[in-house]
Amino acid sequence: MPFEHITSYFENKGFQPFPFQLEAWMRTASGKHQLIQCPTGSGKTLAATGALIDQLLATPNSKGLRLLYVTPLRAMTKDLELALREPLSGTDITVLARNGDTSAKDRASLFRKHPQILMTTPESLSVILSSPKSNELFAQLELIVVDEWHDLMATKRGVQMSLCLQRLLKLSKKTTITGISATLKDPQMALDVLLPKGETGLLTQATIDRVVTLTITESNDDARLPWAGHLGLSLLKPVSQALIKGKTTLLFTNTRNQAEQWYQALSIVRMDLSIALHHGSLASATRQEVETKLKTGEIDCVVATSALDLGVDFQAVEQIVQIGSPRSVSRLIQRAGRASHRPGEGTDVLLVPTNRLHLNEYAALADALDTESLEPIRPPEQCLDVLIQHLVTMALQAPWKPDDMFEEVTQAWAYRHMTRDTFRRLLTVLTKGSDSLKEYPEYRKLEERDDGRFTLVSNQAARRHRMSIGTIVSHAHVRVKMRRGGSLGEVEESFAGRLQPGDVFRFSGKRLEVVRFSDGELIVKPAGSRKASEIPRWTGGRLPLSETLATRVVSDFQRENPLSQRIQNSQWLAQALKETAEIQARISHCPQTGVTIAERFKTRDGYHLCIYPFAGWLVHQALGPLMASRIAKRTPATLTVTVNDYGIELLSPEAGPLDICTEHWSSIVQSKELQQDLEKALNLSELVRRQFRATARISGLIFEGYPGRQKSLRMLQTSAGLLYDVLSQYDPDHVLLMQAKNDVLRDEFDIERLLVVLQSLEQQSVQVKQIMQPSPLALPLVIDRLSSRLSTETIAQRLERMTRSFDAAS
């Protein structure tokens, strides 16, 4: 009987393997590559590894590394190690987890005594591959499992992973690759990106259908839902009532600030519950403690950000709450999946709107779930910084010949179109410093040996490279430390830079007073109670609304189809949506498909033109300044641009420039000359300068922030910004500057989609309506602009006044 051993493990536990698991095992056993699409917590790990575990159990005395399991989450390697040890207990088969936290001693032991199963992260894999001994280690490898591929493939980490895969396939002749991913829009593409050029694989689909239903928190009659707002604390009461002692709830927010505020508020109203806070800025020890308690169910409620989106299942979680909008269909599915499941049972997500337009997003979300319209993933391509790092890593393993190396790396999807010329330019950068004719005397990194192979110049350089392997570059962060005592976590540098000594802010669930900001550390002490005012917010990862949802929101204004069945209180929602559309129609006009709507009104601040392409915040962020600069090209104008997920506001002291915009619409939104106009419109150099930090770090140009920094390195410290300035002044065509610029256009503005949006705007006419006061759609834009200029009290007052006028009109 095939898979006898693993099947009996299942039987002993009282389970039956799912059909998709059997299918996956069969495919592994017959040496096929595959991508398993499967929600978290439905046995994906055993689906991917079962066949190999069965084989190991059948031949318990076999030696050598057979299975490599790569996961993007460092914390998960430990959990997986325990999970895979279970079916292997009682045998001599060894499972080893290796990640950035592994001690030097354990690291060395990997090469001395090869485990049969190795769990690691892409970065640690890259470090392992930098060792000359790794060819022995991987010689007998049979199966590589890449977990959370949907997450990895969207980032440069995925690119690094796929470069490592090419090397692994070279080191071991009979390896197959299995990817695991959440449900994807285009699984075939995900498989193509995973596999080397020319290889084919199969899609293995888990048909475990989990019905996600949505319940929307209704506001009481005495507290109307505001027209704009991000916090949502007006619904604190119904949300706090939904929390039940002993029934673990995960409450997701979109920003860290939101998490802090909700944590604080819930802790006060529900003192009977044990509530914890979890977000990416907190110290890792604090986070791990919360995660452990979540697993054991010792906690009633965790207020979390997307830092908890991925990872192993928390069996104890029974309820999911989402504050605001999840902003994308995939994220909602991901978050809903964090709750435990019994077969055949669905998950209900409690949605808590923080403003009325969220209701439209919820309706759109439900529609998208019905039609399984997930957001597409666009994997990065031709990342030269990642390739530079990888080329050096490979030179550490064994000196390489350029022709062999070119063959190897162009097997990876991201580099499948790379030309020999580009590769040659990279080689010149690595050996001479630049591919331009500029002088870089004394430059040393890689050198060509007499036999035509490339190798590293010194052991010191090798050591330095090993220490800086990796592609995750967080945005500039500043450590928050108590004056007496330990570290609390990290906040964005831009936020820390705005604080003055004596300022009070909320972090890690505490009220803190700034003592000083020095040497990259924000020193704080507990704030006394007499200090009342707090610095209101720091950004903490703003999530843009996905294009899938943004475009669907339009149809909510003229909804003809009934609302999705998965909305539990759809009648209430239908009524609320109708009201919103009616008010929007009364004050202005409603969005419709096929036309771009716009509104004009005049306030004390000046003349406003609000345009609603519904293309999402990333695109609007580029589109707004682009339009403004094209207007300014025709007439002198001082325009203030504000954008959100639905639209763009242009504010002008005179009416003239806004007339130009609507009169010359097709040339203001033309898709021609996009890139050159965009460079003029945006302060691109400042943005590229910021992005260059990541590029410089990945390609090994700067060394920073690793523990126990050697003294000799201090003279080598410089900021990426400075390096950027010098390069752009004296060698502006440097390959890595180009890379940083492309990254900015792609990641910060989504230039590919911007082009598509412009093409459709060109085709559509614009319908402008003169209105007397800001409409429900315009209001969030007006508020966002004000919040960057005025103090919070004033906004609150203004907001209240404007909202009152709506309600009076309704």
Partner 1 sequence: MQHLEFGLMEFNARADRTLWHRESRTLFLSDLHLGKGAHFRQAGIPVPEASEISDLERFVKAITETRATSVWVLGDLFHEPQSITETQMKRWQSTLLSLGTEFKVILGNHDRHAEPFARALGFSVEPEPTRWNGIELAHHPDDGSAFRIAGHIHPQVEFKAASDRLVCPCFAIKDQRLLLLPAFTGFSGGPRYQPRDARCFPIVSDHVLPPTN
171 contact partners, CB below 8 Å, separation of at least 6 = 134, 135, 138, 139, 141
Q: Which is nearer to partner 1, 433 or 647 (CB)?
A: 433
Give me the residue label for tokens 């319209």. Answer: 373
* Shortest Å distance, C-beta 686 to partner 1: 6
**Of all helices (H) and strands (E), which one includes residue 491?**
strand 487-492
What's the closest the beta carbon of residue 713 comes to partner 1, in angstroms? 9
Label each residue of 506-530 as H, E or C: EECCEEEEEEEEECCEEEEEECCCC
Nearest distance from residue 787's CB to partner 1, in Å?
A: 13
Which residue lies nearer to partner 1 by CB, 368 or 456? 456
- Going across the sheet that includes 521-526, the strands are 487-492, 477-482, 521-526, 510-518, 504-507
Q: In the window 23-42, what residues touch partner 1 (CB under 8 A)?
A: none
The nearest distance, CB 228 to partner 1, in angstroms, is 21
107 exposure class (CB count in 10 Å sphere: 0-12, 13-18, 19+): middle
- Within positions 702 to 721, which residues make up the interface with partner 1, using CB under 8 A? 702, 715-716, 718-719, 721
Give the whole-angstrom CA distance, residue 260 versus residue 306: 14
CA geometry: angle 266, 272, 278, nearest 5 deg:
45
Q: For the window 404-443, what string marks contact with partner 1 as x by the rule CB under 8 A?
A: -------------------------x---xx---xxxxxx
Question: In this structure, what token pair is assigned to residue 80?
Answer: 């997986």
- Interface map 620-649 toward partner 1 (x if CB under 8 A): --------------------x---------
**Residue 410 or 691: which CB sits closer to partner 1?**
691
Each residue 438-467 as x (binds partner 1 by CB under 8 A) or -, in order, gives xxxxxxxx-----------x---x--x---
Where helices occur in 682-733 by DSSP H, the ranges are 684-698, 720-730
Q: Measured from the CB of residue 348, what is the shortest distance to partner 1 in angstroms?
A: 42
Q: Count CB neighbours of 286 within 10 A.
A: 18
Residue with smaller CB distance to partner 1, 433 or 591 = 433
Q: Is 306 helix (H, G, I), strand (E, B) or coil?
A: helix
| Residue found by looking up tokens 């979390």 in the block | 304
Q: How far is the CB of 302 from partner 1 (least distance, A)?
A: 36
Positive or negative, the CA dihedral 671, 676, 677, 682 is positive
Q: What is the Cα–Cα distance from 55 to 26, expressed in whole angstroms?
A: 12
Residue 663: which residues within 8 A CB-CB, separation 6 or more? none
CA distance 689 to 722: 9
For partner 1, the binding residues in 57-116 under the rule CB under 8 A are none
**Do strands 143-146 and 176-181 pair parallel, antiparallel, or not at all (unpaired)?**
parallel
Decide whether 15 or 730 has the Cβ nearer to partner 1.
Answer: 730
Q: How far is the CB of 439 from partner 1 (least distance, A)?
A: 4
Q: How far is the CB of 704 from partner 1 (least distance, A)?
A: 12
Site for partner 1 in 457-516 (CB under 8 A): 457, 461, 464
Least Å distance between CB 631 and partner 1? 17
- Decide whether 345 or 439 has the Cβ nearer to partner 1: 439
Q: Which residue number, 370 or 733, has a Cβ lying nearer to partner 1?
A: 733
Compare residues 676 and 788 and give the one whose CB is closer to partner 1.
788
> Whose Cβ is closer to partner 1: residue 46's or residue 446's?
446
Non-local (6+) Cβ contacts of 150 within 8 A are 181, 182, 184, 190, 330, 377
Q: Kindly write out the interface string for residues 726-745 of this chain, putting x where it contacts partner 1 by CB under 8 A and - elsewhere.
A: xx-xxx--x-----------
Task: For partner 1, give the closer residue by CB, 438 or 559.
Answer: 438
**C-beta closer to partner 1: residue 118 or 723:** 723
x/- contact string, 745-784, with partner 1 (CB under 8 A)? ----------------------------------------
Of 723, 777, 779, 782, which lies in the binding site for partner 1, with binding defined by CB under 8 A?
723
Closer of 338 and 697 to partner 1 (Cβ): 697
Please identify which residue in 333, 701, 751, 757 interacts with partner 1, judged by CB under 8 A: 701
| Residue 572 is a binding residue for partner 1 (CB under 8 A) | no
The nearest distance, CB 422 to partner 1, in angstroms, is 17
Interface positions, 339-368, toward partner 1 (CB under 8 A):
none
Q: How far apart are CA 262 and CA 531, in angstroms?
A: 21
Q: At closest approach, how far in Å is the CB of 46 from partner 1?
A: 45
Dist. CA 564–CA 365, nearest whole Å: 9
Beta carbon of residue 785, minimum distance to partner 1 (angstroms, whole number): 10
Q: How far is the CB of 715 from partner 1 (least distance, A)?
A: 4
Least distance from C-beta 733 to partner 1, angstroms?
Answer: 11
Nearer CB in complex with partner 1: 215/718: 718
Q: Which residues contact 427 (CB under 8 A, 6 or more apart)?
A: 402, 446, 454
User: Nearer Cβ to partner 1, position 156 or 689?
Assistant: 689
**CA–CA separation, 93 and 113 (whole Å):** 12
Closest distance of CB 208 from partner 1, Å? 47
Alpha-carbon span 385 to 383, nearest angstrom:
6
Where does this chain touch partner 1 (CB under 8 A) — which range of 21-29, 33-41, 356-364, 723-731? 723-731
Closest CA relative to residue 122, chosen from 460, 444, 372, 472: 472
Within 657-696, the residues that bind partner 1 by CB under 8 A are 683, 686
411 vs 434 by CB, closer to partner 1: 434
Nearer to partner 1, 52 or 623 (CB): 623
The residue among 239, 297, 229, 298 whose CA lies nearest residue 266 is: 239
788 Rama sector, left if φ>0, alpha if ψ -120 to 50, beta otherwise: alpha
Looking at residues 241 to 260 of the shown chain, list those that interact with partner 1 (rule: CB under 8 A).
none
In the complex, the smallest distance separating the C-beta of residue 550 from partner 1, rounded to whole angstroms, is: 23
Closer to partner 1 by Cβ: residue 199 or 677: 677
Q: Where are the alpha helices (DSSP H) in 645-704?
A: 656-663, 665-668, 674-681, 684-698
**What Cα–Cα distance (Å) separates residue 48 from each residue in 32, 143, 180, 192?**
12, 9, 8, 18
**The tokens of 705 are what?**
């922030």
Go through 530-548 and write b for each residue having 16 or more CB atoms within 10 A of its CB, e for each that does not.
eeeeeeebbebbebbbbbb
Residue 161 Cβ vs partner 1, minimum distance, rounded to whole Å: 25
Q: How many residues bind partner 1 (CB under 8 A)?
A: 34
Residues in the chain, how many? 810
Indicate the residue among 494 and 565 with the shorter CB distance to partner 1. Answer: 494
Give the helix/strand (H/E) hosting 402. helix 402-409
Q: In angstroms, what is the minimal distance from the CB of 444 to partner 1?
A: 6
C-alpha–C-alpha distance, residues 800 and 795, integer Å: 8
Helices assigned H by DSSP within 270-351: 284-296, 329-336
Rounded Cα distance, 2 and 6, in Å: 9
| Residue keyed to tokens 């994997």 | 379
Binding residues (CB under 8 A) for partner 1: these are 429, 433-434, 438-445, 457, 461, 464, 640, 683, 686, 700-702, 715-716, 718-719, 721-723, 726-727, 729-731, 734, 788
